[in-house]
Amino acid sequence: MNRTDDLGFHHRFVEGEPSGDGVTLLLLHGTGGDESDLIPLGQALAPRAAMLSPRGRVLENGMPRFFHRLAEGVFDQIDLREQTDKLVQFIEGAAKAYHLRKDRIVAVGYSNGANIASSVLLTHPSLLAAAVLFRPMVPFSPSKTLDLRDAKVFIAAGNRDTIVSPQETSRLVEIFENSGAVVTTFWHNGGHELGQDDLDAAERWVSEWREAQ
């Protein structure tokens, strides 16, 4: 397992095993997390895959995030665009540095990490092969219809989430589906925190996605 400050982000990289089929999980933590936060989750979802886990570049009251917000649920759109571009540059640089298959990079994000993963999908549709989004919100409303026909997306939402409403989840699903993405939605009977049922459903989805490739 390597830990490095190169490529514009503090990050960790775990090399995959030959039986991992060239899959890399891009692990994107929530507010207050870091580059180590989602490694165990990633290894539970796809034990033999490579793990690429950056730390968010901005701070909110000392807590790392991937972009600034103006208030709870109100995103700084200028910073979101800038930080999305920085993350895209990081993904492309890491793919070269670590000899990753760009057609096998799967984003796995929680909360703030899921939001920037959605932003990457909506701005660079061909960069990610798939995405697992835990408790995501709509990062922005696209001004035009996108082409996400090759995208596969798993969204895990909490039906008692006080941060992300069911309506917000439905709006994000609609944006993806209207752009041609194939979306699977899982509803956890709880709040913003993750449950074992979230992880089990996501693991099944990742396994099925890999078998279909």
List active site positions: 111, 161, 192
Cross-strand bridge partners of residue 158:
188
Task: Estimate to the nearest angstrom the gap between the alpha carbon of 69 and the chain centroid.
Answer: 18
Burial class (CB in 10 A: 0-12, 13-18, 19+), 211: exposed
Contacts of 5 by beta carbon, 8 Å cutoff, 6+ apart = none
Distance between the two ends of the chain, CA-based, in angstroms?
27
Q: How far apart are CA 14 and CA 164, in angstroms?
A: 31
Q: How far apart are CA 106 and CA 26, in angstroms?
A: 6
